[in-house]
Amino acid sequence: MADEALTAGQYIKHHLQNMTFGQHHHNGTWGLAHTAEEAKEMGFMSINVDTMFWSIFLGVLFLWIFRRAAKNATADTPSGLQNFIEMIIEFVDGSVKGAFNGRNPLVAPMALTIFVWVFLINFMDLIPVDWLPGSFAWIASTVFGADPHHVYFKVVPSTDPNATFGMALAVFMLTMYYSVKIKGVKGFAAELTMHPFSSNNKLIQAIFIPINFMLEFVALIAKPLSLSLRLYGNMFAGEMIFILIAIMYGGGWALGIFGGFLQLGWAIFHILIITLQAYIFMTLTIVYMDLAYQVNDEH
């Protein structure tokens, strides 16, 4: 339930603010930001602690679940967990076989990791917006005497562009590495400068080179941008709707009941969104890896 001591605008800003650790500019000390302004002043070298915590925690949870399923796997009477894990693996394997034409033992495990990890990160959006932040603020105020209005704790890493850009850049760097490895430096450079316009006349081709490079460079940079912004935008919008619904609980019992039905309906619909976003992120990663393996005549 929305804190009655906060206005609706303050409540929204509070839930959209990350727990940021960095250097305070006014005295040079390191610590947590107490306001959104302090977090902004900390700049590039600051760390969103909540994003890092939940991303790592959910990654470890993913590894633990799959490791447990692998250790207890049996061909006689498979458990429900084993059947579920095998279903996910078969689904991801089918996606890789359908979109990736090269040979690389890294692609399938990477696709599986991305799909499950992004899904778990997105799934945090289905937890009521006040449960975990409210519990953490209560602990911080009770144990450490902190002002709960200055305790920030976002639990959906994909609503933080730092997380989505980080994942997208990792995929981008991997595709760049294999593009150069498979095509060579000259082949990769030719891919950026000899397409889409080409000519047998060397003078005309020389004129086309900077034009081709500009077009191909924009297309190249658009890959990590679209990959990260798509996930961030969809999850941020979903989180905002949950926050707006939560505000309704402070408007009386009638509005609260209506908000409860809205929250249930949006949560059910949001299950499709979080799954679809994980699938899209995985599929685009596979496609980008496939493009890295394609030589010029296959484009």
Question: Above 50 in pLDDT, residue 13?
Answer: yes
Q: Is residue 204 part of a domain?
A: yes
In this predicted structure, which of 2-11, 59-68, 146-155, 209-218 has the lowest mean pLDDT? 2-11
Q: Is residue 132 part of a domain?
A: yes
Find, among 76, 115, 74, the residue nearest to 92 by Cα: 115
Q: Is residue 59 part of a domain?
A: yes
Q: How many domains does the chain have?
A: 1
Residue 32, φ and ψ in degrees, nearest 5? -85, 145
Average pLDDT score over residue span 181-196? 91
User: Domain containing 195: what range?
Assistant: 8-298
Q: What is the CA radius of gyration of the chain?
A: 24
DSSP conformation letters of 210-254: HHHHHHHHHHHHHHHHHHHHHHHHHHHHHHHHHHHHHHGGGS-HH
Find, among 200, 199, 225, the residue nearest to 212 by Cα: 199
- How far is it, in rounded angstroms, from Cα 278 to Cα 6? 34
Question: Above 60 in pLDDT, residue 242?
Answer: yes
Q: Is residue 153 part of a domain?
A: yes
pLDDT of residue 2: 42
- 234 labelled catalytic: yes
Active-site residue (options: 55, 122, 179, 234): 234
Active-site residue (options: 83, 135, 226, 296): 226
Confidence category of residue 5, pLDDT binned at 50, 70, 90: low
Question: Above 60 in pLDDT, residue 37?
Answer: yes
Q: Is residue 3 part of a domain?
A: no
In this predicted structure, which of 137-146, 233-242, 262-271 has the lowest mean pLDDT? 137-146
